[in-house]
Structure 1
Amino acid sequence: MDRDLSATTRQRRGLLIVLSSPSGAGKSTISRMLLEADAEVTMSVSATTRPARPGEREDVDYHFVSDGEFDRLIETGEFVEWAPVFDYRYGTPKAPVKAALKAGRDILFDIDWQGTQQLHAAMGEDLVRIFILPPSMEELERRLRFRGTDSEEVIAFRMQRAAGEISHWAEYDYVLINRSTEDCLLQVQAIVAAERLKRQRQVGLVAFVRDLVASR
């Protein structure tokens, strides 16, 4: 008798996707495009000690907390990663990340190399690390200027910091050169599709194979 075995492979474990790059290399744009194109991917919501900016919403853009509350979250081990960024601190709460993985949802992280190291230590094989490089330092500076949001002093600081950030490229699973935003997005989507199909993420695969053999 024929049996429907496909249902046992529909479940999969979720995926944690990190996109890192120096400022201006296109990380935020590609993150936004990936979220718009793939309904299975949601953005991680970080806790931060910085004040909310106009238009930002609590529990949607960030979890806005006091310095004291942030200290408490660190002490009780409720972050999978956290780091100081300029004058404030940012951290990823552990509970929603674990819940998403169990439910088979994918979470996108826009974090730097320090946060990525912590996340890798905490989450292991659930993490896929993608680093995005600019095609040249000249192009990186041009993109920073084209944004029109930073002063000359800030641009100089970001360019100085970029070299240090780029030096961590070898710590990532995938390294892409963003010559074209559209092409780079396609590469990110190909990586995500392949990672979703990895054997260890197919939580129903053992049952499927068992039923497949038993159905002879």
Structure 2
Amino acid sequence: MTRLDLRGVAIFKGWLDPGRQADVVAAVRGVVAAAPLFSPDTPYGRPMTVRMTSAGAFGWISDRTGYRYALQHPSGVRWPPIPDAILRIWDEVTGLARRPECCLINWYGEGARMGLHQDRDEADFTWPVVSVSLGDDGLFRIGSTTRGGRTESIWLTSGDVVAMGGDARLIYHGVDRIRFGSSRLLPRGGRINLTLRVVT
């Protein structure tokens, strides 16, 4: 495992070995069985290219009424609990007693991307955001805490973990593209990104 720091963002390369990656994917499949992936729209009416679901007390959703946290999946069911295999990553990376209340699960298929954005729908920005990459490589782009200006990019591979906290908590970030089929972790290809957040 190697730690890199890019603009205050901590990037832990190879944090999860192949066995743990498989365990986390199995846990994600359990979440998806209870709260299926859905295709959200932005508030501007444009469909997002990722499919998503959540686990925890809250789930993050997007539709024409805005970006927000909700207590229920769009189908009306409650979000399932965050699996222990995922919570363990938060515990190891942050060392915090407080645990996340939301695990947002984004699935990137071929051609999917995520534009530069801030994670700012939470009540208290003193808590970090922890992101886990599984499956195909994703080109992760980091800007600054204000929109515009120079950016830097790094390829995230399966098992990498990213922590955004402190001065980097509100940094703009996104995923420009994935190398579809670059990993054998997911039989049909694609990238799973887990984002762990304290909401309240």
As a proportion of its length, which structure holds more helix?
1
Q: Is the TM value for this pair above 0.5?
A: no
Larger RCO, structures 1/2 (Cα 8 Å, 6+ apart): 1
As a proportion of its length, which structure holds more strand?
2
TM-score (norm. length: structure 1): 0.28
Larger Rg: 1
